[in-house]
């Protein structure tokens, strides 16, 4: 277990907004830092340290830690302290299964509606992905999320999508960790384009099959990723 906050983690990007409580905002910020690996698996964190780092009282920090614990992103080890949870291979595979159920169902609904404005929006996102600088995992994966979220919002599944985003936290940790080698961006762009083509053609079965194949890719890549970064994973 690491004993101090990673040098990659910075509080400079934390910009409080009045529309959310400090605890909710800190939770969102720390959650993103864990997903991106700025707070690494096994990293020690503490309420006191975070309170000082973000210049806030312990109460909002405690609120943020409680939510992160509920999402299984951090864990409290008796007599040892609080740590960023290592990535559970089992939980990643279960999350992938749930994501497949949700997103395959959504893409079927969307394809049956066949909306030209949506198709244009999706293709615009693909073009933005093509222009992302090589190695800029954050920008690319934000656009990836934007494309998938656009499908969920168009289908009117906002609540379902919020659940999906919570489920995908563990999946996204793996995606950031393996971005440079597991699935080259040209392949991801090709898969996205194929899904959009199927939606535009009005073929729900084809769109569902392509989405299913896209979401299932991690089944093949996960063992290789876990073997390459064993310090970040647990088998349970």
**Residues 181-226: tens digit of each pLDDT:** 877 889 999 999 999 999 999 999 999 999 999 999 999 999 999 9
Residues above pLDDT 90, as percent of the chain: 80
| pLDDT at site 181 | 80
pLDDT < 70: residue spans in the chain: 1-19
Q: Domain 88-234 sits in which CATH superfamily?
A: GntR ligand-binding domain-like (1.20.120.530)
The rounded distance, in Å, linking the Cα atoms of 69 and 85 is 9
Within the chain, which residue ranges are assigned CATH 1.10.10.10?
A: 22-85
Q: Where in the chain is the domain with CATH 1.20.120.530?
A: 88-234
CA distance 133 to 41: 27
Determine which helix (DSSP H) or strand (DSSP E) holds 150, and give its type and residue range.
helix 137-154
Of 1.10.10.10, 3.40.190.170, 1.10.260.40, 3.65.10.10, the CATH number of 22-85 is 1.10.10.10
Instruction: Check residue 2 and give its pLDDT.
Output: 47
Query: Which residues, in sequence order, are CB contacts of 122 under 8 Å at separation 6+?
Result: 147, 150, 151, 192, 196, 199
pLDDT score, position 134 = 72
């Amino acid at each position: 277990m690491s004993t101090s906050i990673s040098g990659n983690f910075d509080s400079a990007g934390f910009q409080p907004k009045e529309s959310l409580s400090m605890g909710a905002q800190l939770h969102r910020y720390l959650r993103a830092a864990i997903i991106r690996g700025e707070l690494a698996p096994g990293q020690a964190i503490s309420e006191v340290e975070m309170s000082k780092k973000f210049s806030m009282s312990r109460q909002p920090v405690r609120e943020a830690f409680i939510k992160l614990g509920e999402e299984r992103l951090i864990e409290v080890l008796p007599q040892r302290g609080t740590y960023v949870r290592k990535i559970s291979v089992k939980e990643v595979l279960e999350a992938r299964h749930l994501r497949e159920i949700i997103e395959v169902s959504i893409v079927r609904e969307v394809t049956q509606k066949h909306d030209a404005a949506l198709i244009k929006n999706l293709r615009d996102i693909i073009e933005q992905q093509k222009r992302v600088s090589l190695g800029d995992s954050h920008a690319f994966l934000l656009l990836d999320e934007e494309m998938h979220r656009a499908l969920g919002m168009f289908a009117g599944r906002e609540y379902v999508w919020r659940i999906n985003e919570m489920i995908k936290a563990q999946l996204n940790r793996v995606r950031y960790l393996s971005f440079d080698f597991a699935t080259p961006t040209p392949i991801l762009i090709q898969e996205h384009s194929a899904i959009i083509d199927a939606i535009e053609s009005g073929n729900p079965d084809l769109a569902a099959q392509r989405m299913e194949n896209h979401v299932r890719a991690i089944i093949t890549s996960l063992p290789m990723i876990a073997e390459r970064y064993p310090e970040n994973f647990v088998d349970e």
